[in-house]
């Protein structure tokens, strides 16, 4: 058995060693870390597809200075240790200069620590924890922090004339972060929060969670969340007869459970994508490659922009060395008009002042009704 | 309050249909079968697949799935458990976990990790302040009918009384000419089929996920334990008690009770009730260990 | 002196023992016989501390037993064997024998890590005794075999040996001769005589009347939870009621 | 590449400690702990909480061990009356209670968990992990080969026999639980500092059964076997990533395939080699010494 083990391990090492250091004509390898198993799989896959579309676009245009981009996709299983395993493999064995990652802060922060230690680049497409600002020069976020989006959401609610609101969010950093910022902005404009529900994700049914919201009779409901949990949550709300309007951060990542229930009653803010020409182009490519845009979520745009800015940085720096990429990144984004609109970073590499799209769900489609830059 | 009762009844129905299978298996083979709950998930997915066949009505898909899952349970017993009848109960539990892990992963490979949902149309019915759906009503009725049929089967058929004899004293039953092996196969078929129906009902109400078994593991085992592990109808009662306790706990406004501001226990603490019920019931049951009785 | 006084015990509605009394003196072998279900094993289980009697008392040298705490009863010097021998099957015969000794420095975790020398010397002492005991039982050649691989009779000898390691004042033996080949039965009988000579109290449940007649000083007969007779083996053989209710039937 | 090997070894060492801990509980004593992740998680969360409060890591370690010991006694309270399959359900429930609490208590970071300072130097992490593994190995080996371990094995084979020999099984079970849980908690403390993050998703029933797979694969009761089992399971996990690049399977199929393999290993080992790859050694007495 010892023999078999050491054999397996050695062959793994040998396999990795074959890949060796990069030469000029070699492809540039970029890592992708996403939850391909475990939970939040759909959004992760959407992000990965976005990166793939970007890679297709780059390679179709002849690559970066003649070198094609090659993606190495690793699964994080939505567990910190597996995310670290994945990042360790990408940074230490595949020696990728940069990795694009989908995952909550619980996974993103350990990987950011490792990236910092190894002097590599990590591009965040999903996590919005304020702690991510602690890795300047290592971690760059395509997604803006929750407080920005949350505040815009709160203002939008107040503008609609709503007086009372209930909060129904998952008890994650994302859900609570959005809810807090939105509630603060809403209350500053004279609104009142009448009920707050923070549910644990991963439960099959949320009827008992939504139940207490019904007697509170709010005008609007602040929500955030994605995937199967959002679908189950909306189903419970519909069955319990909630008639309030919904205000969501990134409404496209909600899984719409019943079109009629939410038609004309779901609003929200997102940054870029829907109204930008670059976003439309990505959506078209998505439709061509993945059989239509029915399941398209905003994460496609984040993934797409993530790889695009990394590629632009490599091109500008004339080198795929991580330090050069990190140095070039803040410069190239200034000139980049991407699927999620213009990207502006603060000194920590966190996205600020994103263009905000105001979105309404009408007749089964997310319609951008206004854009604030 | 009426709403709490309704919610409890619906939840208890789904748990009970799955829990009786665990009790059935425990009563005859004397081990807690983790794989049983995975049978429920497999059954749910099978119903989903059969229903996708053009022209297949949902009830037929459900029946097919029940039969198929029953056969899978027999197959698992033939391949695994029947060869391990002599090992300790805890050894069997570990093995059954292995089986569950294997099935769960295979389901995930075939269907992917994301959730699947049945696209059902149903209406919402209001009773005073409370609401329920016609689907809820269907779930409760199906569960009740199944339990009634199981009761009639176990108590008023020759095969059923054979099963009961096997459960109360396997050695004696076999020496009296009751065909033990065939009855054990029947037991597996029954519990597999029940699991499939329970799993499908759960999927109707909520969703299908490969790891759904982990979500309902505690409630199901708590229900079975409350009912007395080897008592089939105790499991039904256990499911009702547990479900009621869980829903009441999050319904009661403890803040107002204590004269303060409204404060309720967050819903996610529901599962604490299941675990606590499990522990308390186990503590209260005397003389389980060969050394007990002190 | 081991005294059982008016002991009664019922399980649910079933009266397993009804006011049973008996006494066993040091350096004696006392037999308990009776048909299956007569309450012999129940009585043994009470004396061994497994069951708590509903009424009555069991005393050893005047001190009542810790009912319901078999490990305390064992520690008080009452050793028992089982009809189906209980052994650590996946330990060697020698290791089983070593486990029989109660007072072991090496069973304290602190000693184990802080006083390894004391543990080692005590272990060597016990090993010497275990070796001697195995020789005495005629099992020395099996020392390194798994206990589970012994024959039934050898296993019964081994369990007796394990008890003797901690020098019990009382031995409760549950059908030591059942299913054992005649050669080993003779060996057992010889061992019992030795134990008696050492001044121990031996209580013996047995169906093998030859064994009873060979070794016992006094015999008590149980039937349906009640004591129906007592006396020397010869007296018991002559007792009409005993013959009718027990000995007359094929055992 | 070397860094990756160092990281892998570190992870293997940590999981070996978990395996050794389960081994003295189940392999030696027969205690079926389906909540093995509980002491592990307690250690990890204690390290995280101490770090959050600005305390140095030894404080976290001490806190973790203390938590584990206290909770092991609490969970063991009912054990004296229960047979092992019930004990399995209780520990399973206790592990889930812990996870639910971590998931729902804001002070414990909720679903998003807590940050822990990471080892600055991977070599240091490896050294610490190896040191802990060596200590656990030494303890486990010493116990297995001692009179104490002998009585534990008697207990495993037959609790009634142990009582008949004048031992109180509960006392021994309690001691074993305290040692085993403290060991697992120490592994948890180290794990937190290696991964740099604790969150409820790292402490699920699945993790418990990864340890079980390692134990059953390696050989219950065998110290060496368990370490080899843990190494096999963890390295299989890591190396399957390379297999993915090789045979071009989707990552999710591979990850699930790996879990399916673990399940299969559990079942097949029970069916065909219940003693494990490296069976427990028979303690033979050398007659020539005397």
pLDDT tens track for A298-330? 889 999 999 999 999 999 999 999 999 999 999
Q: Is A260 on the interface with B (CB under 8 A)?
A: no
Q: Is residue A40 part of a domain?
A: yes
Which of C35-44, C52-61, C84-93, D158-167 has the least mean pLDDT?
C35-44
Which chain B residues are Cβ-neighbours of A228 within 8 angstroms? 114-115, 207, 209
Question: Is the confidence at residue B197, as pLDDT, over 50?
Answer: yes
Pairing type for strands C226-231 and C218-223 reads: antiparallel
pLDDT of residue C248: 62
Question: Is the confidence at residue C246, as pLDDT, over 90?
Answer: no
Which of A162-166, B101-105, D243-247 has the least mean pLDDT?
D243-247
Q: Which domain holds residue A190?
A: 147-271+357-372
Contact D116, D196 (CB under 8 A): yes
Round to whole Å and give the CA distance between A369 and A269: 10
Residue in chain D nearest B272 by alpha carbon:
D97
Q: What is the dihedral of CA A47, A53, A54, A60, to 10 degrees?
A: 170
Confidence at C80, pLDDT banded by 50, 70, 90: very high
Which residues of chain D from 150 to 209 reach within 8 Å of chain C, CB to CB? 150-151, 153-154, 156-158, 160-169, 175, 179
What CATH code is carried by the domain that includes residue A299? Answer: 3.40.50.2300
Q: Over the Cα atoms of chain C, what is R_g?
A: 19
Q: Count H helices, E strands: chain B? A: 12, 2
How many residues belong to chain A? 373
Min Cα separation B89/chain A (Å): 29
Q: Is A228 on the interface with B (CB under 8 A)?
A: yes
Confidence at C131, pLDDT banded by 50, 70, 90: very high
Residue in chain C nearest D178 by alpha carbon:
C109
pLDDT of residue A274: 61
What are B111-139's pLDDT values in tens digits? Answer: 987 788 888 888 888 888 788 899 999 99
CA B45 → CA B14, B112, B207, D50, distances in Å?
A: 16, 11, 10, 45
Contact D95, D35 (CB under 8 A): yes
Nearest C-alpha neighbor of A91 from the set A74, A105, A69: A74
Residue A216 dihedral angles phi and psi, to the nearest 5°: -75, -20
Question: Is the confidence at residue A80, as pLDDT, over 70?
Answer: yes
Residue in chain C nearest B293 by alpha carbon:
C68
| Residue A305 DSSP class | H
Do A364 and A259 share a structural domain?
A: yes
Nearest C-alpha neighbor of B12 from the set B186, B265, B273, B211: B273
Q: Which residue spans within chain C are E strands per DSSP?
A: 2-11, 14-24, 28-33, 55-60, 63-64, 78-80, 170-174, 201-205, 218-223, 226-231
**Can you tell me whether residue A106 is helix, strand or coil?**
helix
Question: Is the confidence at residue C28, as pLDDT, over 80?
Answer: yes
Q: Is A294 on the interface with D (CB under 8 A)?
A: no
Chains B and C touch (3+ CB pairs under 8 A): yes
HEC readout, chain D: CHHHHHHHHHHHHHHHHHHHHHHHHHHHCCCCCCCCHHHHHHHHHHHHHHHHCCCCHHHHHHHHHHHHHHHHHHHHHHHHHCCHHHHHHHHHHHHHHHHHHHHHCHHHCHHHCEECCCCCCHHHHHHHHHHHHHHHHHHHHHHHCCHHHHHHHHHHHCHHHHHHCCCCHHHHHHHHHHHHHHHHHHHHHHHHHHHCEECHHHCCHHHHHHHHHHHHHHCCCCHHHHHHHHHHHHHHHHHHHHHHHHHCCCHHHHHHHHHHHHHHHHHHHHHHCCCCCCCCCCCCCCHHHC
Contact D39, D94 (CB under 8 A): no
Min Cα separation D200/chain B (Å): 14
**Can you tell me whether residue A226 is helix, strand or coil?**
coil
CA angle B225, B226, B232 (to 5 degrees): 70
Total domains present in chain A = 2
Retrieve residue D276's tokens: 């494990």
Question: Is the confidence at residue A225, as pLDDT, over 90?
Answer: no
Overall average pLDDT of the A93-97 stretch: 93
Q: Is B113 on the interface with D (CB under 8 A)?
A: yes
Contact C37, C251 (CB under 8 A): no
What are A323-370's pLDDT values in tens digits? Answer: 999 999 999 988 888 888 888 899 888 988 888 889 999 988 888 888
Chains that touch D (3 or more CB pairs under 8 A): A, B, C
Helix, strand, coil fractions of chain C, as percent rounded to 5: 45, 25, 30
Which of B17-31, B137-151, D60-74, D82-96 has the least mean pLDDT?
D82-96
Q: Is C87 within 8 Å of D169 when comparing Cβ atoms?
A: no
Which residues of chain D from 27 to 86 reach within 8 Å of chain B, CB to CB? 32, 34, 78, 80-86
Do A115 and A35 share a structural domain?
A: yes
**Can you tell me whether residue C214 is helix, strand or coil?**
helix
Nearest C-alpha neighbor of B271 from the set D99, A79, D203: D99
Q: Is A199 on the interface with B (CB under 8 A)?
A: yes
Whole-number average pLDDT of chain C: 90
Longest dimension (CA), chain B: 67
Round to whole Å and give the CA distance between D144 and D278: 15
Give the DSSP letter string of B159-201: HHHHHHHHHH-HHHHHHTT--HHHHHHHHHHHHHHHHHHHHHH
Confidence at A273, pLDDT banded by 50, 70, 90: low
Which of the following CATH numbers is that of domain C2-77+168-247: 3.40.47.10, 3.40.430.10, 3.40.50.300, 3.40.50.1980? 3.40.50.300
For B2-288, CATH gives 1.10.3470
Contact D32, D88 (CB under 8 A): yes
Residue in chain C nearest B291 by alpha carbon:
C50
pLDDT of residue A198: 86
Q: Is D157 within 8 Å of C95 when comparing Cβ atoms?
A: no
Which of B238-242, D103-107, D250-254 has the least mean pLDDT?
D250-254
- Could you tell me what percent of chain B has a pLDDT over 70? 96
Q: Is D256 on the interface with A (CB under 8 A)?
A: yes
pLDDT of residue D267: 96
Q: Is D167 within 8 Å of C143 when comparing Cβ atoms?
A: no
Min Cα separation B294/chain C (Å): 5
Q: Is C91 within 8 Å of D157 when comparing Cβ atoms?
A: yes
pLDDT of residue D233: 94
Question: Is the confidence at residue D290, as pLDDT, over 50?
Answer: no
What are D264-282's pLDDT values in tens digits? Answer: 999 999 999 999 999 998 8
The shortest CB-CB distance from B206 to any of A42, A209, A232 is to A232
CA D135 → CA A179, D21, D70, D128, D131, distances in Å?
A: 48, 12, 22, 10, 6
Whole-number average pLDDT of chain A: 86
- Could you tell me what percent of chain D has a pLDDT over 70? 96
Do A151 and A209 share a structural domain?
A: yes
Confidence at A204, pLDDT banded by 50, 70, 90: confident
Contact D285, C92 (CB under 8 A): yes
Q: Is A155 on the interface with D (CB under 8 A)?
A: no
The contacts of residue A282 (CB under 8 Å, 6+ apart) are A50, A53, A273, A300, A301, A304, A339
* Residue A32: strand pairing partners: A73, A100
**Can you tell me whether residue A358 is helix, strand or coil?**
strand
Question: Is the confidence at residue A8, as pLDDT, over 70?
Answer: no
| Residue C99 DSSP class | H
Q: Is D260 within 8 Å of B112 when comparing Cβ atoms?
A: no
Confidence at B152, pLDDT banded by 50, 70, 90: very high
Q: Tokens 């020098």 identify what position?
A: C167
Which residue in C109, C161, C163, C172 has the most chain D C-beta atoms within 10 A of its own C-beta, making it the best mutation to test that interface? C109
Q: Which of A127-131, A313-317, A369-373, D112-116 has the highest mean predicted lDDT (pLDDT)?
A: A313-317
pLDDT of residue A42: 80
Q: Tokens 């070996």 identify what position?
A: D16
Which of A10-14, A49-53, B88-92 has the least mean pLDDT?
A10-14
Contact B100, B73 (CB under 8 A): no
Retrieve residue C127's tokens: 């090993």
Residue D167 dihedral angles phi and psi, to the nearest 5°: -105, 140
Rounded to 10 deg, the angle between the B212-227 and B270-284 helix axes is 40
pLDDT of residue A279: 85
Q: Is D62 on the interface with A (CB under 8 A)?
A: no
Confidence at B218, pLDDT banded by 50, 70, 90: confident
Whole-number average pLDDT of chain D: 90
CA B98 → CA D23, D95, D158, distances in Å?
A: 18, 18, 25
Query: What's this model's pTM, rounded to 2 decimal places?
Result: 0.90
Question: Is the confidence at residue D170, as pLDDT, over 60?
Answer: yes
Contact D144, D221 (CB under 8 A): yes
Round to whole Å and give the CA distance between B184 and B175: 15
What are C149-208's pLDDT values in tens digits? Answer: 999 889 999 999 999 999 999 999 999 888 888 888 888 899 999 999 999 999 999 888
Q: Tokens 């001697």 identify what position?
A: C132
Question: Is the confidence at residue A261, as pLDDT, over 80?
Answer: yes
Pairing type for strands A121-124 and A139-141 reads: parallel
Q: What are the structural domain ranges in chain D? A: 2-203
- Could you tell me what percent of chain B has a pLDDT over 90? 53
Q: Is B293 within 8 Å of C51 when comparing Cβ atoms?
A: yes
pLDDT of residue D141: 94
Question: Is the confidence at residue A5, as pLDDT, over 60?
Answer: no
Nearest C-alpha neighbor of A33 from the set A80, A79, A83: A83
Question: Is the confidence at residue A4, as pLDDT, over 90?
Answer: no
Q: Is B286 on the interface with C (CB under 8 A)?
A: no
The contacts of residue C186 (CB under 8 Å, 6+ apart) are none
Overall average pLDDT of the C115-142 stretch: 93
Do A279 and A254 share a structural domain?
A: no
Pick the residue with more confidence: C37 or D66? Answer: D66
Contact A237, A210 (CB under 8 A): yes
Contact D80, B248 (CB under 8 A): no
The shortest CB-CB distance from D283 to any of C48, C92, C166 is to C92
Round to whole Å and give the CA distance between B114 and B118: 14
């Amino acid at each position: 058995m010892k023999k078999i083990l050491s054999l397996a391990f050695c062959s793994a090492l040998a396999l990795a060693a074959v890949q060796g250091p990069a030469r000029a004509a070699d492809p540039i390898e970029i890592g992708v870390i996403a939850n391909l198993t475990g939970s939040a799989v759909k959004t992760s896959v959407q992000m990965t597809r976005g990166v793939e579309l970007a890679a297709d676009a780059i390679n179709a245009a002849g690559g970066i200075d003649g070198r094609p981009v090659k993606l190495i996709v690793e699964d994080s299983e939505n567990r910190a240790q597996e995310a670290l395993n994945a990042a360790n493999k990408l940074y230490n064995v595949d020696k990728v200069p940069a990795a694009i990652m989908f995952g909550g802060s619980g996974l993103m922060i350990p990987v950011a620590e490792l990236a910092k230690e190894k002097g590599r680049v990590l591009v965040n497409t999903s996590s919005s924890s304020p702690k991510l600002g602690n890795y300047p020069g290592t971690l760059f976020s395509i997604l803006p922090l929750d407080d920005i989006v949350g505040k815009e959401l709160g203002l939008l609610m107040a503008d609609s004339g709503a007086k009372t609101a209930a909060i129904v969010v998952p008890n994650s950093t994302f859900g609570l972060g959005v809810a807090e910022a939105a509630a603060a902005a809403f209350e500053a404009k004279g609104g009142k929060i009448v009920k707050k529900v923070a549910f644990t994700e991963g439960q099959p049914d949320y009827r008992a969670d939504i139940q207490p919201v019904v007697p509170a009779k709010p005008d609007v409901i602040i929500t955030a969340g994605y995937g199967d949990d959002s679908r189950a949550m909306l189903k419970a709300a519909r069955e319990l007869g909630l008639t309030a309007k919904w205000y969501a951060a990134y409404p496209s990542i909600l899984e719409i459970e019943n079109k009629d229930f939410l038609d004309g009653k779901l609003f929200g803010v997102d940054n870029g994508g829907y109204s930008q020409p670059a976003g439309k182009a990505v959506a078209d490519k998505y439709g061509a490659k993945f059989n239509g845009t029915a399941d398209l979520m905003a994460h496609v745009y984040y993934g797409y922009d993530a790889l695009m800015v990394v590629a632009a940085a490599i091109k500008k720096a004339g080198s795929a060395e991580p330090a050069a990429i990190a140095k070039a990144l803040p410069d190239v984004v200034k000139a980049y008009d991407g699927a999620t609109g213009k990207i502006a970073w603060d000194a920590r590499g966190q996205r600020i002042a994103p263009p905000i799209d105001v979105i309404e769900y009408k007749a089964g489609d997310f319609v951008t009704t206004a854009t604030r830059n | 309050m009426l709403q709490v009762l309704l919610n409890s009844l619906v939840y208890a129905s789904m748990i009970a249909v799955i829990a009786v299978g665990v009790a059935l298996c425990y009563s005859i083979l004397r081990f807690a079968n983790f794989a049983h709950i995975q049978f429920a998930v497999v059954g749910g997915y099978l119903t989903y697949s059969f229903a996708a066949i053009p022209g297949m009505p949902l009830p037929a898909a459900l029946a097919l799935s029940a039969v198929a899952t029953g056969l899978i349970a027999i197959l698992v017993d033939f391949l695994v458990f029947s060869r391990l009848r002599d090992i300790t109960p805890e050894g069997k539990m570990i093995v059954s976990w292995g089986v569950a892990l294997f099935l769960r992963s295979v389901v995930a490979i075939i269907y992917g990790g994301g959730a699947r949902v049945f696209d059902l149309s149903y209406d919402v019915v209001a009773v005073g302040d409370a609401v329920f759906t016609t689907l809820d009503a269907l779930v409760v009725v199906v569960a009740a009918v199944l339990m009634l049929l199981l009761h009639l089967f176990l108590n008023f058929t020759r095969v059923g009384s054979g099963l009961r004899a096997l459960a109360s004293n396997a050695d004696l039953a076999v020496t009296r000419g009751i065909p033990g092996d065939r009855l054990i196969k029947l037991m597996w078929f029954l519990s597999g089929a029940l699991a499939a129906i329970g799993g499908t009902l759960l999927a109707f109400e909520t969703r299908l996920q490969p790891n759904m078994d982990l979500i309902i593991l505690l409630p199901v085992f708590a229900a079975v334990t409350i009912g007395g592990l080897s008592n089939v109808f105790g499991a039904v009662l256990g499911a009702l008690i547990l479900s009621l306790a869980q829903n009441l706990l999050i319904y009661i406004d403890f803040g107002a009770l204590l004269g303060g501001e409204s404060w309720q226990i967050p819903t996610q603490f529901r599962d604490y009730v299941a675990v606590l019920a499990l522990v308390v019931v186990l503590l209260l049951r005397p003389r389980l260990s060969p050394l007990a009785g002190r | 002196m081991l005294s059982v006084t008016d002991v009664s015990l019922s399980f649910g509605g079933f009266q397993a023992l009804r006011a049973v009394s008996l006494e066993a003196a040091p350096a004696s072998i006392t037999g308990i016989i009776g048909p299956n279900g007569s309450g012999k094993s129940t009585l043994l289980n009470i004396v061994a501390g497994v069951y708590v009697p509903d009424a009555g008392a069991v005393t050893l040298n005047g001190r009542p037993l810790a009912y319901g705490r078999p490990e305390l009863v064992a520690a008080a010097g009452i050793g028992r064997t089982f009809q189906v021998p209980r052994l650590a099957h996946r330990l060697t015969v020698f290791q089983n024998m070593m486990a029989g000794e109660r007072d072991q420095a090496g069973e304290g975790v602190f000693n184990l890590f802080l006083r390894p020398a004391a543990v080692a010397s005590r272990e060597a002492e016990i090993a010497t005794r275990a070796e001697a005991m195995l020789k005495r039982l005629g099992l020395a050649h099996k020392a390194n075999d798994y206990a589970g691989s012994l024959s039934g009779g050898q296993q019964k000898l081994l369990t007796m040996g394990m008890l003797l390691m901690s020098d019990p004042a009382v031995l409760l033996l549950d059908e030591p001769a059942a299913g054992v080949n005649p050669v080993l039965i003779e060996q057992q009988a010889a061992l019992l005589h030795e134990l008696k000579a050492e001044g121990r109290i031996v209580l013996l449940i047995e169906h093998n009347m030859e064994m009873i007649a060979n070794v016992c000083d006094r015999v008590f007969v149980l039937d349906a939870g009640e004591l129906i007779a007592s006396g020397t083996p010869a007296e018991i053989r002559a007792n009409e009621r005993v013959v009718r209710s027990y000995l007359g039937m094929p055992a | 590449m070397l860094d990756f090997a160092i990281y892998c070894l570190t992870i293997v060492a940590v999981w070996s400690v978990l395996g050794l801990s389960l081994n003295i509980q189940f392999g030696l004593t027969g205690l079926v702990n389906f909540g093995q992740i509980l002491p592990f998680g307690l250690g990890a969360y204690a390290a995280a909480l101490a770090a959050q409060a600005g305390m140095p890591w030894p404080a976290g370690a001490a806190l973790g061990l203390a938590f584990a010991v206290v909770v092991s006694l609490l969970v063991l309270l009912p054990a004296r009356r229960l047979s092992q399959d019930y004990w399995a359900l209780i520990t399973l429930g206790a592990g889930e209670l812990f996870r639910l609490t971590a998931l729902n208590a804001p002070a414990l970071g909720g679903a998003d968990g807590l940050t822990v300072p990471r080892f600055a130097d991977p070599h240091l992490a490896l050294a610490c992990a190896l040191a802990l593994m060596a200590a656990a190995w030494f303890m486990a080996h010493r116990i297995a080969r001692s009179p104490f371990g002998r009585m534990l094995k008697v207990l495993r084979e037959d609790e009634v026999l142990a009582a008949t020999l004048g031992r109180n099984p509960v006392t021994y079970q309690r001691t074993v639980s305290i040692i085993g849980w403290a060991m697992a908690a120490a592994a948890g403390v180290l794990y937190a500092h290696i991964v740099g993050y604790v969150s409820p998703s790292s402490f699920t029933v699945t993790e418990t059964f990864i340890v079980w797979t390692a134990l059953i694969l390696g050989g219950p009761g065998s110290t060496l076997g368990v370490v080899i089992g843990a190494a096999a399971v963890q390295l299989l996990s890591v190396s399957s990533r390379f297999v993915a690049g090789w045979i071009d399977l989707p990552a999710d199929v591979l990850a699930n395939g790996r879990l399916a393999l673990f399940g299969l290993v559990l079942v097949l080992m029970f069916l065909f080699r219940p003693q494990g790859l490296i069976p427990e050694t028979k303690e033979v007495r050398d007659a020539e010494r005397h």
